Amino acid sequence: MTEITDMETIPGESNNQLALTTPEAQPIKRRKKKSMVWEYFTIENVSAGCRRAYCKRCKQSFAYSTGSKVAGTSHLKRHIAKGTCRALLRGQGQDNNQFITPYNPKMGGSEPPKRRYRSPSSPFIPFDQDRCRHEIARMIIMHEYPLHIVEHPGFIAFVQNLQPQFDKMSFNTVQGDCVATYLREKQSLMNFIEGIPGRFCLTLDMWSSNQTLGYVFITGHFVDSDWKLHRRVFNVVMEPYPDSHTALSHAIAACLSDWSLEGKLFSLTFNHPLSEAGLENLRPLLCVQNPLILNGQLLIRNCIARTMSSMAKDVLGVGQEIIKKIRDSVKYVKMSESHDDKFIQVKNQLQVPSEKSLFLDNQTQWNTTYQMLAAASELKEVFDCLDTYDPDYKLAPSMEDWKLAETLCSFLKPLFDAASILTTTTLPTVITFFYEVWKIHVDLGRSITSEDPFISNLAKSMQEKIDKYWKDCSLVLAMAVVMDPRFKMKLVEFSFTKIYGEDAPTYIKTVDDGIHELFLEYVALPLPLTPTYAEEVNGANNGKTNESHQGNLLSDHGLADFDVYIMETNSQQMKSELDQYLEESLLPRVQEFDVLGWWKLNKMKYPTLSKMARDILSIPVSAAATESIFDITDKQLDEYRSSLRPETVEALICAKDWLHYGSDDVSNALVKMEF
């Protein structure tokens, strides 16, 4: 039986040149080579039994086969795909464009690669200097690397080993690339917010620096046309005199102008204490550039995170001696592996049920001190008995010390629970914090009546601060609750009765009058329709499915007399949208509720009220960044960043925020409340 062997047709060879492996010449079944390498190479015989592959572009030769040994194609793929073929990089040769593949956004990055060469096994991307520079800029922005990293010897050596063709970059080059990335992302964000149908709320957070300069972080909060709540850093404005009365007003004016927000501002929330002189300097600016809503009663807000941090500082201040004792005990256990082992041994023998672990606190963040105290208090029995197993331990707090620590924890826990809501991934609405602030207010009211002078005095100090916040912000918090169809005015009435007692009707009437007055302002002075909102309304009201004669019938000319007839025959005055909404039954109180989603579904039923709800529910309660919620010290820009130009600092910080969130990052605005 004759053996037939499959042979590959080698490009550049004729059939009569093929070497047969069978003793007799037999018909050969040929198959076309599948590797795309052969689009770039040809095979030539150089001697008996020796063949080499020649690059069609640069004519360089490579080993292919010697006798029965075949070298394969991996080294040929590297030649065309790793950038070593100079002629290919210069764009010489034919068919260079036929392997371009469409850009896939899932690959990441803002710009598509110029060209992608594919093989059956793996993709290859030829070296692209511009793309590498772009990605280095994104890397520096996203991970806050110093711009000088591109000049560091270690970075240069790494890149040269990774890609020898990469040109070295200077500080000025990468700085320009980072600013270019910022400008591209800024234009994208500006295009996005042009279609926002409602107003914007701003939060201001003042940072300091070693050079006594101030940096005002301005963040915008808004609800888009799909009723999703967004938060984006708009500006970082350097203020040479941060303590001046004009510092914040200058920063706000710069932001309004930069983003074309004149006439669209709804509220301001400050993380930095605002003096009376600063407030007086700010109001004229806002009156000129922005129509005041409800005579400015909703305009200026305080930051709830800073209020709670200030209250926590009061607790830590009065308990600093016992906190130091417990911290020293925890330090003794955690600073030695043998001490830690003995502590665990005692805990197991005593069968203490606590699952909490000891750790040292970060004294710049009050939540870590609270968690350290809470964990140590649950393990106090272990500390009390530790000296019997470890004679070197002589730091055990007394029973009175532990009792005091538990009292401190009882004051810190409600603050910790409320502040933790601000660290969630979704953006909490004002509705949530009406209930949280009310709970803290009521709890402190009970503590003031305690017979223990320590508890009573501490509660009074804390209540002064929560009272100030409640006085400044209770109206907007209450209005937000009214915009929740699960609560409306009922929760306001219930809560105010608990706080104000017999005086509650006066405060309840203030909220009711305020929300009716605000509604009338929205009726009389509706917001200018943005293109997005106009299309939304026109799409619902001006459908072309009706016959043309129906448009004439429903015009003002056709039914003008009918409107007069309705007014004359209607025995009861028509209620406003707001009154209809308030009189309807409350929705079931589920734990998670998409309040913005509800208004999205009911915007046609309540066209004016929904616009008012959109703006109220976009008001933020905190001006602090998520990682700064528990800080008890002012934020300070590091020495390196404060040495950069103010424009570069703004570019790096804003671009990082925009790249982090992306265009699709939105919140479901879920409101969680438990009773």
pLDDT score at 2: 42
Mean pLDDT of successive 10-residue segments in the chain (675 residues)? 42 42 46 66 83 83 78 77 60 40 43 47 69 92 94 92 87 94 94 91 92 92 92 94 87 92 89 78 72 75 90 93 93 89 88 87 93 93 86 87 94 93 74 88 90 92 92 90 93 91 92 93 65 47 43 51 58 72 91 89 93 92 88 89 94 94 45 43
Determine the distance from the C-alpha atom of residue 157 to the mean position of all C-alpha atoms in its chain, rounded to a whole number: 35
Please write down the HEC assignment for all residues of 637-656: CCHHHHCCCHHHHHHHHHHH
Q: Are 214 and 242 in contact (CB under 8 A)?
A: yes
Q: With 0-12 CB in 10 A as exposed, 13-18 as middle and 19+ as buried, what is 462?
A: buried
Domain ranges, ordered by start, for the chain: 37-84, 129-298+635-664, 304-420, 425-525+593-618
User: What pLDDT, in 10s, does the model give residues 241-271?
Assistant: 888 888 888 899 999 999 999 888 998 998 8
Residue 311 identity = M
On whether the pTM is more than 0.95, the answer is no
SS3 state of residue 243 = coil
In angstroms, the Cα distances linking 318 to 51, 95, 322, 408, 607 are: 88, 78, 9, 9, 52
> Cα separation of 497 and 494, whole Å?
5
pLDDT score at 674: 42
In 319-398, alpha helices (H): 320-334, 337-350, 366-378, 380-389
Beta strands in 520-654 (DSSP E): 592-594
pLDDT score at 259: 95
